[in-house]
Amino acid sequence: MLSRDGITLPSMTSLRTAGIIGVSAACCILLPLMIGFASAKLSSSNSLQGIILSGILFPAFLLALLKPRLLVPYTLLIWAVAPELRRIADWSEGVYHSVSLLSLAPLLTGATLIVPVLREVHRIKRSWSRILLLFAAALAYGALIGLAKNGMGSVYDLANYVVPLLLIPFFVVTPYTSKDIDRLLYAYANIAVLVAIYGIIQYLTVPPWDAFWMRHADMMSIGQPYPLEIRVFSSLNSPGPAATFLVFALVPMILEKRWQGSLRWIGVLFVVICLLTTLVRSAWLVLLVMLLVYIGSSPSKGKWKTLLQLTIVAGACVWIVPKLPGAEGLVARMETLTSVQEDHSYNERLGLWQNMLPIVASNPVGQGIGSVGQGTKLSNGGELGEYGVMDNGFIALLLTFGALGAILFFGALGAVVKQIVARVTRKDDQQPYARLALAAWCGAVAGLISDNGFPGLKGYLIWMLIGLGLSAKEVIESRKKGIPHAAIERKIISR
C-alpha cells in the first residue's frame, strides 16, 4: 500500500490481482450468457447442447474463482460423464451428431484452470518456466504448421494439448498439502468406481442411449450393442479412454489404502472387472509399468506390503473373472498377452511402424497439430481423416511435430522427469506422491507404443498425477524455513 497526502493508495500488485479477478468474474457471468443466447438462435438440438454446456461451465467458473482446489475433481467428473450426456441428448432427440457442442465440455471446463494460474502467475519459478517454454515452443511450431495444412482442426487439437498442460502451472501456484492430495485422489477413486459400476451395467444390459450411439457411430471395434457382446466404454466415448480413466485411478487405489475411495477393496474389484470388459490390453501394460516403477522406487518395507496387496488383488481376480457372464471372451482376450506374435492387433501395429517410418523420415517438417486423431474430423466433414486412427504414439508425435518440434517436446518431457527424480530422491513424508508422479511419467512414455496419450483425457490424467507429485514441494520448503502452513496461501518463496 502507498500513502500520499494521508490517502492510502493500493499497490500495483493489488490492482493487478483485482483486475484479474474482475475479468474472471465478468467471464464467469458473460460466457454462460453468451452460450445461452447463441443457443437460442440455433436449432433445437444445438440449443439443448448449449444449455447443458452452460450448466456445466458455470460451476467451473465459480470453483476457479472461489475454490480452485475443487476444480480438478470437478473437471475429472466432467471428463467422465460428458460423453454420456452427449449420447443421452442425441438419443432423446433421435438424431446422431458426429460433432457435438458437448464434446467441448471437458476442454472448456479444464480451461478454467487459467483463472487461478493468471491470478498467481508471478509465483511460477524459473525452472518450471523453462519447461513450460519448451512445451510452448513445440506446440507453437506444431500449431503454425497445422493451421497451414489442417485448418480449424488444428485449433481443437491444440486445445487438447494445452488444457491438460495447464495443470503444471496450476499445481505450481496452488500449493497442495498431503491432505489436499489425498482428498483429490480419494475423489478420483470414487468417480472411477462409479464409472466402473456403470460400465458393468452397460456390459450386462446395454442401455438404449448407448445402443443408439453404437449403431450410428460406425465403430466396428467396440462389438455389438447387445448384452455380453459389447466392449465396454462406460460413460466415456470409447473403450480406450474408459480403460485409461480406470487404470490411472486403479494404480493409486492398489498402492495406498488412503487413495482407495469410499468402497475400499470392493471398489478396486469393481474397477478391475470393468477394466477387463473394455478389452484394452495396452492399458494393462501401462498398469504394470506404473506399479513396477512405484514399487521399485519404494523403501524395502513398503515393497513387501505392496507386493502382498497385488497378490491378493490378482488372486481375487483369478477366482472371480471365470465366474462372470461372458467370461470366455474376456479370458481369451487376456490370453493373447502371452502370445502377441499370433495376435492380429499386435501384427497390425508392427506393420504400422514399418509403413509409417519412411513417411515420417521423408517429412521432417511434420504435418502439424490437427493431422492425427479426433481433430481430423473438423477438416474432413465429420469423418476421421487419413491419420484419424494412429495406434503408435511415437509415430503420432513425429508426424505431428516433425523433427524440430519432437526434439522440443521430448526435451520438455526429459526436463519434467529430472524434476520428478530430484523429488523421489528426497527422504520425506511426501515421497509417495513423487513416486506416483514418476510412475505416471513412465506409464505415459510406455503407453506411446499404442497411442499418443498427451492430448485429451489421458494427458489430463498424466499431468494431474505428475503435478500432484510435485505440488507438495513448496509445503516442505516452507517447513524448512519455518513458515506457517497458512502463510503458504499468501506467499511462496520465489527463486
Query: Which SS3 state, helix, strand or coil, does residue 494 take?
Result: coil
Assessment of whether the complete model's pTM goes beyond 0.75: yes
Which of 67, 60, 61, 104 shows the shortest CA–CA distance to 82? Answer: 104
If you ran DSSP here, which 8-state letter would residue 223 be given? B
Task: Give CA angle at 359 (355, 365), nearest 5°.
Answer: 155
The phi, psi pair for 224, rounded to 5°, reads -110, 150
For 389-399, letters b (16+ CB in 10 Å) and e give ebbbbbbbbbb
Residue 70 and residue 81: Cα distance in Å, rounded?
A: 17
Residue 13 and residue 262: Cα distance in Å, rounded?
A: 43
Which of 343, 356, 268 shows the shortest CA–CA distance to 312? Answer: 268
At 247, the amino acid letter reads: V
Residue 118 and residue 279: Cα distance in Å, rounded?
A: 41
If you ran DSSP here, which 8-state letter would residue 230 be given? B
**Residue spans of the chain under pLDDT 50:** 1-4, 38-40, 474-495
If you ran DSSP here, which 8-state letter would residue 224 be given? -
Residue 278 and residue 203: Cα distance in Å, rounded?
A: 9
For position 489, what pLDDT does the model report? 44
Q: How many residues does the chain have?
A: 495
For position 346, what pLDDT does the model report? 54
For position 29, what pLDDT does the model report? 54
Question: Which residue has cell 460466457?
Answer: 31
Give every CB contact of residue 361 below 8 A, 6+ residues apart in sequence. none
Here the cell at position 328 is 470366455
For position 493, what pLDDT does the model report? 37
For position 76, what pLDDT does the model report? 94
Here the cell at position 256 is 495406498
Residue 95 and residue 89: Cα distance in Å, rounded?
A: 9
Residue 266 and residue 272: Cα distance in Å, rounded?
A: 10
What are the angstrom distances between the C-alpha of 495 and each of 119, 255, 474? Answer: 19, 34, 12
Strand partners, 230: 223
**Radius of gyration from C-alpha coordinates of the chain:** 23
Residue 459 and residue 447: Cα distance in Å, rounded?
A: 11
Q: What is the distance of C-alpha 316 from the center of its chain?
A: 29
Question: Which residue has cell 500513502?
Answer: 3
Here the cell at position 225 is 450393442
For position 365, what pLDDT does the model report? 81
